[in-house]
């Protein structure tokens, strides 16, 4: 069977017979891949002309709902993907990381997209920057989707997750993508991609697929395009220096090989829970996906006094790991993805032998459930380096398979130094129940790591594993690991957007961003804002209330009602000696009294008080002071209506409480749930 490419909205067969892709266990041909004859420039044009505009017409919330729908669609078809995944040599647990991991990433981005992004097509990044004395000229950052194509070039080890962890943030940002999986396992990517296309959930042009060589695709990239590359450092380096990439300053994110480490804390001696957790993790990282994980532990750094115990314990645990055909019950580790990987890992192991002695494995393996001589199997191999500062191979050579080197450290500083010899890693882990050690090591190695995983007995049950990148957290690493960063929730979405600093008057900035900012126009209306539906409220619309004089009785009554008899409110002598100089009203009384001033009490479109943010008491309020409130509609976000629910949205109100001298005494934002007149859909802003 020849895999097809998805080009300009059609399935297209490449020319020629293609590269045969072999089953990792049986060696049978699974498919052929060829992208010969494809018009790569036309693919880019299609994404820019058709996919980009369609995605940019949607808001973040609409795109997030699209991701959720796709995640549900793929979830329902998971069994097909698992069946084919076994051809890559994956066990069921390995496939779970790839397939469920990929679908899970869509779910997380779908949820974050609705909770952390506005229901707009652009994103406001950070607060107002007050750059003028009088406040008439300000700055604010906005992020808008790039108008080009996101090109994804992936490694062979995660044919599904590798595609989906890149697609989720790009599509949420509003940028179309061209996916180019590693040819070796592209048949699985193609199967999942086919399911996506069949669903018709993404708009036309949002995604395209290349199974085979990327041809001259990268030569046609321009200023608005980006590349996210995962693979070996050598390939990454050659691609990122291509003339088109350099000339167009094309964003190039690189995730490359990495010599990740696990450190056993000095307190985590044999017999402690941390020692066992450490062994479990090292064994899991060596054997999951047969060690073909970019985050797998390659260097195991342990206190010198524990070297013998660690090696013994690892040998005994590794010796019971069943290697063989993943289809056979009880098999915990399958083959590598192909024969060329066996050769590459073998060559890397030869290089590593110069830096340590093999203490487990290293010789031919006899896999269970396979004919002798077939399958891309590699022995689980543990090396020990006694002189890790002189034998530098473990810090330099990545064997992309079930291979790991144990090495001793003499002090916490020494452990930090060894970890840093990796010159930049995706992930490092530390097993300690001593939080001082945790702090020293984390701060010592953080500049060299994209993620740090600190484990002790208290978090073990719910911990997520050294080797699992999570959509919420950044994935990537400095230096040798490529210098890139993916995912990390919202951060990953912003990689596909242009951050633009906009300067102007507060009113102009408020109109552009649809969010009121201090200093912007504050029109008033005869109708109280609490009598208005969501759609009727205007950004900036302001209510200035009547006044109220705070009395001694208010303070005494509030102390009694709340039970808050703090000396500054009720003890005249102590209050005189306090920073206030005399008794002061409770801050929460001021809040409550402010609500009493601005609410319109009768039933109406306001459904509930939803919360309060950024509260500051800026000046004390004493008995005899007269307060007044200015309530300004700051922003509005439509919410999805639950089945049988009331259509509604969240309105954020800026609240300023001032005293008789017009001095600010309290400022905060309140959130209310306000009924919408319309059903679904996001209302347009009144101009
Ligand atoms: P690779 O040989 O560097 O290939 C990576 C990707 O680059 C493949 O899709 C490959 O396509 C493509 N490629 C190669 N030459 C190209 C060119 N001239 N133009 C466009 N694309 C080109 O790496 P691999 O063997 O697939 O993966 C193993 C390596 O990836 C390991 O070193 C591992 O550490 C690293 N890795 C890193 C991460 C991470 O997140 N940091 C994750 C997984 C793997 P073809 O397959 O068609 O050649």
What's the token pair of residue 571?
A: 């003890």
What's the token pair of residue 114?
A: 């609705």
Average pLDDT, consecutive stretches of 10 residues, N- to C-terminus, the chain (687 residues): 96 94 91 96 98 97 97 97 93 93 98 94 95 95 98 96 98 98 97 98 98 96 97 93 95 94 97 97 95 95 97 96 91 91 95 95 87 90 96 95 97 97 96 97 98 95 92 96 96 98 97 96 96 96 98 98 97 96 97 97 95 97 98 92 87 98 98 84 41
Residues 572 and 583: their CA atoms lie apart, in Å, by 6
pLDDT of the residue at 337: 87
Pocket of ligand 1 (CB under 6 A): 153-157, 180, 182-184, 213-214, 230-232, 235, 239, 255-258, 294, 398, 400, 426, 482
Segment (H or E) for 487: strand 486-487
The CA 151 to ligand 1 mean position distance, Å, reads 14
Ligand 1 atom at minimum distance from 235 CA: 3
DSSP code per residue over 159-226: TTHHHHHHHHHHHHHT--EEEE--GGGHHHHHHHHHHHHHHT-SPTTSEEE--S--TTGGGG--TT-E
Report yes or no: 336 and 24 within 8 Å, Cβ to Cβ: yes
CA-based end-to-end distance of the chain: 57
What's the token pair of residue 461?
A: 């049950």
Q: How far are the Cα atoms of 646, 651, 652, 687 from residue 676, in angstroms, in the given order?
A: 8, 11, 15, 18
The CA 629 to ligand 1 mean position distance, Å, reads 61
Residues 255 and 258: their CA atoms lie apart, in Å, by 9
Report yes or no: 150 and 144 within 8 Å, Cβ to Cβ: no
C-alpha torsion sign, points 259, 262, 265, 266: negative
Question: Is-catalytic flag, 147?
Answer: no
Residue identifier of the C-alpha nearest atom 40 of ligand 1: 255
Question: What are the structural domains of the chain?
Answer: 4-123+143-256 (3.40.605.10), 260-469 (3.40.309.10), 514-675 (3.10.129.10)
Helix (H, G, I), strand (E, B) or coil at 261: strand
Question: Is-catalytic flag, 294?
Answer: yes
pLDDT of the residue at 372: 82
What are the residues whose beta carbons fall under 8 Å from the beta carbon of 624, sequence distance 6 or more? 549, 550, 551
pLDDT of the residue at 682: 46
pLDDT of the residue at 559: 98
The CA 23 to ligand 1 mean position distance, Å, reads 19
pLDDT of the residue at 687: 37
Burial class (CB within 10 angstroms; exposed 0-12, middle 13-18, buried 19+) of 83: exposed
Partners of residue 324 on adjacent β-strands: 368
pLDDT of the residue at 683: 42
Partners of residue 261 on adjacent β-strands: 299, 428
Cα angle, residue 353 at apex, residues 347 and 354 outer, rounded to 5°: 105
Helix (H, G, I), strand (E, B) or coil at 483: coil
| Residue bearing tokens 């194509």 | 149
């Amino acid at each position: 069977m020849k895999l097809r490419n998805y080009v300009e909205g059609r399935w297209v067969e490449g020319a020629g017979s293609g590269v045969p892709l072999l089953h990792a266990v049986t060696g049978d041909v699974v498919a052929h891949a060829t992208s010969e004859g494809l018009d790569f420039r036309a693919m880019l044009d299609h994404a820019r002309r058709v996919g980009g505009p369609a995605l940019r017409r949607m808001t973040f919330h609409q795109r997030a709902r699209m991701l959720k729908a796709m995640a549900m669609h793929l979830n329902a078809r998971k069994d097909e993907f698992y069946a084919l995944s076994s051809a890559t040599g994956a066990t069921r647990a390995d496939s779970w990381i790839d397939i469920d991991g990929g679908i899970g990433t869509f779910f997380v981005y779908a949820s974050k997209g609705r909770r952390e992004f506005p229901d707009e097509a652009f994103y406001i990044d950070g607060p107002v920057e007050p750059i003028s004395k009088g406040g008439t000229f300000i700055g604010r950052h906005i992020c808008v989707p790039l108008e080009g194509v996101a090109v994804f070039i992936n490694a062979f080890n995660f044919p599904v997750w590798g595609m989906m962890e890149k697609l989720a943030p790009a599509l949420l940002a509003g940028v179309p993508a061209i996916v180019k999986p590693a040819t070796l396992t592209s048949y699985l990517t193609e199967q999942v991609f086919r399911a996506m296309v069949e669903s018709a959930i993404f708009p036309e042009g949002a995604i395209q697929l290349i199974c085979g060589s990327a041809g001259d695709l990268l030569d046609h990239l321009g200023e608005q395009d980006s590349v996210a590359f995962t693979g070996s450092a050598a390939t990454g380096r050659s691609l990122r220096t291509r003339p088109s990439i350099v000339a167009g300053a094309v964003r190039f994110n690189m995730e490359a090989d990495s010599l990740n480490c696990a450190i056993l804390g000095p307190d985590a001696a044999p017999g402690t829970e941390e020692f066992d957790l450490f062994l479990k993790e090292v064994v899991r990282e060596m054997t999951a996906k047969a060690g073909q994980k970019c985050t797998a532990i390659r260097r195991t750094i342990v206190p010198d006094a524990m070297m013998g115990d660690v090696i013994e314990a690892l040998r005994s645990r590794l010796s019971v790991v069943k290697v063989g055909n993943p289809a056979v019950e009880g098999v915990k580790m399958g083959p590598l993805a192909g024969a060329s990987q066996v050769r590459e890992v073998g060559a890397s192991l030869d290089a590593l032998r110069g830096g340590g002695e093999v203490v487990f494995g290293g010789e031919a393996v006899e896999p269970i459930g396979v004919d002798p001589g077939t399958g891309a199997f590699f022995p689980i191999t543990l090396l020990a380096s006694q002189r890790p500062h002189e034998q530098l191979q473990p810090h330099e050579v990545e064997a992309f398979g079930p291979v790991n080197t144990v090495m001793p450290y003499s002090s916490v500083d020494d452990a930090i130094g060894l970890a840093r010899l990796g010159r930049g890693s995706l992930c490092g882990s530390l097993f300690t129940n001593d939080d001082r050690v945790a702090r020293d090591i984390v701060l010592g190695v953080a500049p060299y790591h994209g993620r740090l995983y600190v484990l002790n007995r208290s978090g073990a049950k719910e911990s997520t594993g050294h080797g699992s990148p999570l959509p919420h957290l950044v994935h990537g690493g400095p230096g040798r690991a490529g210098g890139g960063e993916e995912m990390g929730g919202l951060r990953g979405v912003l990689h596909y957007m242009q951050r633009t600093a906009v300067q102007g008057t507060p009113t102009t900035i408020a109109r552009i961003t649809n969010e009121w900012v201090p200093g912007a126009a504050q029109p008033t209306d005869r109708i109280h804002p609490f009598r208005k539906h969501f759609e009727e409220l205007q950004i900036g619309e302001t209510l200035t209330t009547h006044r109220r004089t705070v009395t001694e009785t208010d303070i005494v009554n509030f102390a009694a009602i709340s039970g808050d008899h703090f000396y500054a409110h009720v003890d005249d002598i102590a209050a005189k000696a306090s920073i206030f100089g005399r008794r002061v009203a409770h801050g929460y009384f001021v809040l409550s009294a402010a609500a009493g001033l601005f609410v319109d009490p009768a039933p109406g479109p306001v459904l509930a008080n939803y919360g309060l943010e950024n509260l500051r008491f800026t000046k004390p309020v004493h008995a005899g002071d007269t307060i007044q409130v200015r309530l300004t509609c700051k922003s509005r976000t439509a919410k999805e209506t639950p089945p049988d629910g009331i259509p509604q949205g969240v309105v954020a109100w800026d609240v300023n409480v001032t005293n008789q001298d017009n001095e600010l005494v309290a400022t905060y934002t309140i959130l209310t749930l306000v009924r919408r007149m319309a059903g679904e859909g996001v209302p347009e802003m009144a101009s």
